[in-house]
Structure 1
Amino acid sequence: MTATEGRFAPADEDLELPEPLGECPEVPCRRVIVYIAGPMTGLPDFNYPAFHAKAAELRAQGYEVRSPAEQTTGTTDRPWEFYMRLALRLLLDADQIHMLPGWSNSSGACLEYHIANRLGMRVSGADA
């Protein structure tokens, strides 16, 4: 049994993201906010290319995106906890979470998944 088995409710791997909101002339509306989670620590360029590619794809589909890879200017001189606190603030602002490949090997992404799952957010992406 792996470290993550049995602790998280399974999510549908093929889960489709809901359509972003379009024109809402009679009621206030906003676009669906998707948070991107995935491994960063120890990966080349902190896996920023994967985060940026998924963010661009989601934005092209009309979603509003929150990505931890976009919250700093590329600095990595602070402790992991500092960046995790920033990431969790972004996650709490989201409607759903998208998991990048390899997320289950990342303690930060596992924490984000667990929080999103417990808060009832939709989960999509790799191995989710």
Structure 2
Amino acid sequence: MRLYVSGPVTGRPDGNRAAFEEARAALEVAGHDVFVPHDLVLESDTHETAMLICLNELTGRDFFRGQVQPRFNGVALLDWWHVSKGACVERDVAEACGIECRPLRDWL
């Protein structure tokens, strides 16, 4: 499965990179293909720019055998995702697009 990792970034030391990388490592061991926002978002990007980049990635579509389907099979939510305004938006958008959202532990 291809998973998007969502969680708090803004206001966390180093943008919470360690938590995202730990999630990536665990999910990859479980056999998933993983995307974390730090793959595309620069430290110098504003919150608004980061959201634009991430929502574009999250809502991207792939064509498979003539059908359009979401780029991601699911969203893995880090602990405390619900206190992050951006992660809440990502979850809401993913669910609106039919992408399943579950806590990280449920994907392992």
- Is TM > 0.5 for Structure 1 vs Structure 2? yes
| CA RMSD, Structure 1 to Structure 2 (Å) | 1.7
Between Structure 1 and Structure 2, the one with more helix by share is 2
Structure-1 separation of matches of 2:72 and 2:47? 21
1:40 corresponds to which residue?
Answer: 9
Displacement of 1:56 in angstroms is 0.8
1:80 corresponds to which residue?
Answer: 47
Give the share of equivalent positions with the same residue, in percent. Answer: 30
Superposed counterparts of 1:1-128, under 5 Å: 32-72=1-41, 75-92=42-59, 93-125=71-103
Deviations 1:60-93 (A, max 9, x none): 1111111102224xx4222111111111122122
Structure-2 separation of matches of 1:118 and 1:47? 26
Deviations 1:16-61 (A, max 9, x none): xxxxxxxxxxxxxxxx210000000001111100000001111111
Q: How many residues align?
A: 94
Question: 5+ residue gaps in structure 2?
Answer: 60-70
Displacement of 1:98 in angstroms is 0.7
